[in-house]
């Protein structure tokens, strides 16, 4: 897969607006401001592909990006848990996230993006449980690794790996990542290629 050839395809705010199920897609999920859109931009080496922002709640639609091989896509999901988003919108999004996750046949894996300094908050736990229940493949991206020194970053990784593998076995993988430092990019590309081309 030539990730740098990824192109914006379309946006949807509910399942019925999503493009037809294609071959395979991988969705980036996580709390608001965790770094999902930045991770997509780093992965594709295209700083303008997914919109990022210092203000949480930037991504409010499900955004689809076509990869260079037909039928393969990346999906940027709105962040979860942003307190200032109106309740009605939160409820709307929670329902649509649920439907997207449950009904999307093309979905092959969830990339759960967590700030390495604040892993496994309530939303993250929900996603892990959902993957455990449904058998969905999970890749955990511990991002903003540049905010920690190597020791603490590695120990968070190892601890979380042990914990999650106990629950999900070999259906879960984890890595550290930094969009700022371009760290972990090759590892992420290899994992996503494996998943999408399987």
Q: How many CB atoms lie within 10 A of CB 55?
A: 10
Q: How far is CA 60 from CA 84, 102, 153, in A?
A: 13, 19, 30
Give the shortest CB-75-to-ligand GTP separation in angstroms: 12
Residues counted in the chain = 198
Q: How many residues bind Mg ion (CB under 5 A)?
A: 4
Give the shortest CB-80-to-Mg ion separation in angstroms: 11
Contact flag: residue 59 with Mg ion (CB under 5 A) = yes
Q: Which of 10, 19, 57, 163 contacts ligand GTP by CB under 6 A?
A: 57
- Interacting residues of 2 by C-beta distance below 8 A, sequence separation 6+: 67, 68
Q: Which of 77, 44, 6, 52 is nearest to 144 (CA)?
A: 52
Spatial separation of the C-alpha atoms in residues 97 and 107, rounded to whole Å:
13
**Cα R_g (the chain), whole angstroms:** 15
Give the shortest CB-6-to-Mg ion separation in angstroms: 15
Secondary structure E strands in 67-133? 72-76, 107-115
Give the shortest CB-18-to-ligand GTP separation in angstroms: 18
Give the shortest CB-134-to-Mg ion separation in angstroms: 24
Contact flag: residue 37 with Mg ion (CB under 5 A) = yes
Q: Which stretch binds ligand GTP (CB under 6 A): 92-100, 156-164, 167-175, 178-186?
A: 178-186
Contact flag: residue 146 with ligand GTP (CB under 6 A) = yes
Query: Among ligand GTP, Mg ion, none, what binds residue 156 when CB lies within 5 to 8 Å by partner kind?
Result: none
Contact flag: residue 144 with ligand GTP (CB under 6 A) = yes
Spatial separation of the C-alpha atoms in residues 93 and 75, rounded to whole Å:
15
Q: Which of 34, 110, 191, 196 contacts ligand GTP by CB under 6 A?
A: 34
Place of tokens 């700083």: 47
Give the residues lining the site for ligand GTP (CB under 6 A).
30, 32-38, 52-54, 56-59, 78-79, 143-144, 146-147, 178-180
């Amino acid at each position: 897969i030539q990730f740098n050839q990824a192109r914006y395809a379309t946006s949807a705010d509910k399942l019925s607006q999503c493009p037809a199920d294609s071959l395979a897609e991988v969705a980036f999920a996580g709390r608001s401001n965790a770094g999902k859109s930045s991770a997509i931009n780093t992965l594709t080496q295209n700083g303008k592909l997914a919109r990022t922002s210092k203000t949480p709640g930037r991504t409010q639609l499900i955004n689809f990006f076509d990869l260079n091989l037909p039928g393969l896509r990346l999906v940027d999901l709105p962040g979860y848990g942003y307190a200032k988003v109106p309740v009605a919108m939160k409820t709307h999004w929670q329902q649509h996230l649920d439907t997207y996750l449950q009904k999307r046949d093309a979905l092959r894996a969830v990339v759960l993006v967590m700030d390495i300094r604040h892993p496994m908050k309530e939303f993250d736990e929900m996603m892990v449980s959902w993957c455990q229940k449904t058998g969905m493949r999970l890749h955990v991206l511990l991002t903003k690794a540049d905010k920690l020194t190597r020791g603490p970053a590695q120990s968070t990784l190892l601890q979380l790996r042990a914990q999650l593998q106990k629950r999900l076995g070999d259906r879960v993988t984890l890595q550290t990542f930094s969009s700022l430092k371009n760290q972990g990019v090759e590892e992420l590309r290899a994992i996503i290629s494996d998943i999408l081309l399987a």
